[in-house]
Amino acid sequence: MTAPVFVDTNVFVYARDGRERTKQPRAAQWIERLWRDRCGRTSVQVLTEFYVTVTRKFRTPVPPDEAWEDVASLLAWRPQPADATLLHRAREIERLHRLNWWDAMVVAAAQLQDCALLLTEDLHDGAVFGAVTVRSPFTLGVEEARAAYAPARAASLHRPRGRPRRADLPQKDARPVRGG
């Protein structure tokens, strides 16, 4: 994979939940692959939800220091901050696609980080929001994603906007200018 992949809370939670015998290995495989390819992305919202879920909602909670180590390591994924840009984009998505607020925030964060793929169970598998495609990490294999989501950039048929760069300008006779 070369395009950034956004990971939602439930994937991180399943990777930590030993009771999920089928989902835990798949979630862990995805996270491991994204670390290796250095294309994992997430958001501050997701990291917050993960921390609260594993420390307070598990039958046997993860100790806070251990959960914090997970969160701290995921800061390397450059999580999307909860800022005005994210809020405005989430509001557009909420209105346009009629998503609930928290899902709109996740989709907006994935868009703002130029992700091609959003791994989550919370949205319809295969849904497309702009350039972001939602996939369940439990129906899409890690190897399938490599082929399906490698970015293919087609050459534009339109002239670029603005002034041409200096190197693109036709060169005039290159004689030195003499001062007078």
Q: What is the pLDDT of residues 116-153, one digit of tens each?
A: 999 999 999 999 999 999 999 999 888 766 545 444 44
Averaged pLDDT for residues 23-38: 96
Terminal alpha carbon distance of the chain: 60
Provide the pLDDT for residue 27. Answer: 97
Architecture of the 5-150 domain: 3-Layer(aba) Sandwich (3.40)
What pTM, to 2 d.p., does this model score? 0.80
Report the C-alpha gap between 40 and 145 in whole angstroms.
Answer: 13
pLDDT at residue 164 tops 80: no
Averaged pLDDT for residues 64-69: 98
**At residue 95, what are phi and psi to the nearest 5 degrees?**
-70, -45
Between the alpha carbon of residue 68 and those of residues 48, 71, 100, 142, the distances in Å are 10, 5, 28, 27
Averaged pLDDT for residues 51-76: 97
